[in-house]
Chains A and B, each alone.
Chain A
Amino acid sequence: MPCYFAIIGAKDNPIYEAEFTNPHLNQFPPELKELNPFILHASLDILEDLQWQTHPQSGAHSGTNSGFLRSRHSSSNSNCYLGKIDHFYGLAITGYLSYGNMKFVMVHSGNANNGSPVVVDDVSVKSFYQEVHELYVKTLMNPFYTLNEPITSPVFDGRVRALAKKLLTK
């Protein structure tokens, strides 16, 4: 299934975007393709609501009883993944929030031909986000990259696409 992925900065500015499709599968319909950025930005409001909630994960996680941003007892980034946060006419939108308030969001499309609903495979989507997060941190370590600026590095782009191929559009 095709996906549209974007990293949105702290000031809601786009940092990076990419569309993952697989030639053997169907593509985003052209009219939808242009809408993708809008759909993503529309769901940012929901994401920002979620970030202040105690249990933002869609899957009912237990454990930490403090708010998401205050969950300093959790050393892993497992609670950065917010799961499915929104939907739009059969498209699902998932989100991931880094501790630096970078928003990683993605539009998942189902198979438009048979009209079956989108199924988000939480496990692989989550690991995709976590790995992209790691790549993002590495980009941040590059002294020539400025925080909140668009990522232009072809290396980053290549690695993200390779990840998507492995985990999302297989």
Chain B
Amino acid sequence: MSASTNSVPNSSTGSKKSLKAFSDDIWKNKTAKINAELFTLTYGSIVSQLCTDYERDFVKVNNQLFLMGYNIGMRLIEDFLARTALPRCESLAKTSEVVSKCAFKIFLNVTPQVGNWSSSQDAFSLFLDENPLSDFVELPMDAAKELWYSNILCGVLKGALEMVQMDCDVFFTSDVLKGDQTTELRVKLNRVLKDEIPAGED
């Protein structure tokens, strides 16, 4: 039995659901929720505390957020796989779809747009129309230049993709908080860590 590009196997009927419907179902029926404001405020207080602790050295703050995200991503990927049991993505196009439609949907209930593919198809961008991390946030003047407020997301993606043997660079290229038109998150695949793919798979 083979699944088509967009589909995930569904047992009882043998029919195929789209990835979107599949993720919606997991989000609605299978995921415990928390209060969004509590979440936003918690993240906000972490970032502002880091700014204070690093004496407003925003490069350090970015790095620290990235590192925190990396550790989250390494752990969260197990949760994601346990929940979805999605098969390995055969191409980066598929990966981008799973990340935007499935991962962002399940964990943050947003679906970023995928676009801006590089000519060699090894890098893409996620455009976050809404960012639950940055509700209510206004960057102070001194932070507006260097701070990537939601940099934790980059770390999460980096950590998660690395655990499924994809070595990627993940970084923000624009953020509406800084006055840009869009919030753009760039994912660039360096290489697939072939040696680490568990035996029994391709």
Residue of B nearest to A153 (CB): B138
Among B37, B51, B138, point to the contact of A142 (Cβ < 8 A): B138
Q: How far is the CA of A145 from the CA of B140 in the complex (A)?
A: 9
Total chain B interface residues with beta-carbon distance under 8 A: 16
Q: Please tell me if B47 contacts chain A, counting CB pairs below 8 Å.
A: yes
Tell me the B81-99 residues at the A interface (CB within 8 Å): none
Q: Please tell me if B143 contacts chain A, counting CB pairs below 8 Å.
A: yes
Interface string of A132-156 (1 = CB under 8 A from B): 0000001001111100000001010
Interface of A is mostly: loop
* Residue with the greatest number of chain B CB neighbours at <10 A, chosen from A142, A143, A153, A155: A143
Total A-B contacts with CB atoms under 8 angstroms apart: 30
Tell me, rounded to whole Å, the shortest Cβ–Cβ distance linking A45 to chain B. 34
Q: How far is the CA of A141 from the CA of B137 in the complex (A)?
A: 7
- Inter-chain contact B138/A155, CB cutoff 8 Å: yes
Contacts of A141 in B (CB 8 A): 37, 40-41, 44, 135-136
- Inter-chain contact B48/A143, CB cutoff 8 Å: yes
Contacts of B4 in A (CB 8 A): none
Among A138, A143, A153, A155, point to the contact of B41 (Cβ < 8 A): A143
Tell me, rounded to whole Å, the shortest Cβ–Cβ distance linking A145 to chain B. 8
Q: Please tell me if B5 contacts chain A, counting CB pairs below 8 Å.
A: no
Tell me the B125-140 residues at the A interface (CB within 8 Å): 135-140
Tell me, rounded to whole Å, the shortest Cβ–Cβ distance linking B13 to chain A. 45
Point out residues on A near B: beta carbons under 8 Å. 138, 141-145, 153, 155
8 more CB-based (< 8 A) A-B contacts, given A143-B44, A144-B140: A141-B37, A141-B44, A141-B136, A142-B136, A143-B47, A143-B48, A153-B138, A155-B138
Point out residues on B near A: beta carbons under 8 Å. 37, 40-41, 43-45, 47-48, 51, 135-140, 143
List 23 A-B pairs, Cβ < 8 Å: A138-B136, A141-B37, A141-B41, A141-B44, A141-B136, A142-B136, A143-B41, A143-B43, A143-B44, A143-B45, A143-B48, A143-B136, A143-B137, A144-B44, A144-B48, A144-B51, A144-B137, A144-B138, A144-B139, A144-B143, A145-B138, A153-B138, A155-B138
